[in-house]
Amino acid sequence: MVRWPGGTLEPWNSGTLEQNSIMPTAVIIDDEPHNRDTLGKMLERQCPQVLVVGKVCGVQSGIVMIRDLQPDLVFLDLNMADGSGFDLLHALSSVNFRVIFVSAMDKDMIRAFRLSSIEFLLKPVSPDELKSAVERVMKSEMKHFKLQLQALEENVG
């Protein structure tokens, strides 16, 4: 385990470098340690094809981790102590990864997500919903994701 500003860098799945190089990588960004740990363990059991390469607690540490590790998938809490998941996405010059938002959000936000077709998971996360969301998002094309993210911002904004 390697210390990271605001979190740790720790692989959840073991395997050879050859196996890991073809596995989609993911980071978890959530300000609640219990949620980060629970989601990481759930991913290990439900989605062994995804390698969790790091977990951090906020927007600023998430930006650093995403820039350094360039994950394929980011599990992103919407409301954190140092800002929102949207703040994190706006701070990046480009979004070259897929996002699954994870939050305990209200009905209006759920409606906005459904209208934009962006993946989201309600806390507490269900193992079956996690597995389905990961399967859907990994099958989606990046160009479609960027359009969905734009639609989400318009729905929420």
**Which residue would you say has higher pLDDT here, 61 or 118?**
61
Label residue 19 by pLDDT band (50, 70, 90).
very low
What are the residues whose beta carbons fall under 8 Å from the beta carbon of 116, sequence distance 6 or more?
148, 149, 151, 152, 154, 155
Q: Which helix (H) or strand (E) holds 80?
A: strand 79-80
In the chain, the domains with their CATH numbers are 2-156 (3.40.50.2300)
Out of 36-40, 90-94, 129-133, 151-155, pick the least confident.
151-155
- Report the C-alpha gap between 137 and 152 in whole angstroms: 15
Q: Is the pLDDT of residue 15 over 80?
A: no
* Residues 120/102, Cβ–Cβ less than 8 Å: yes
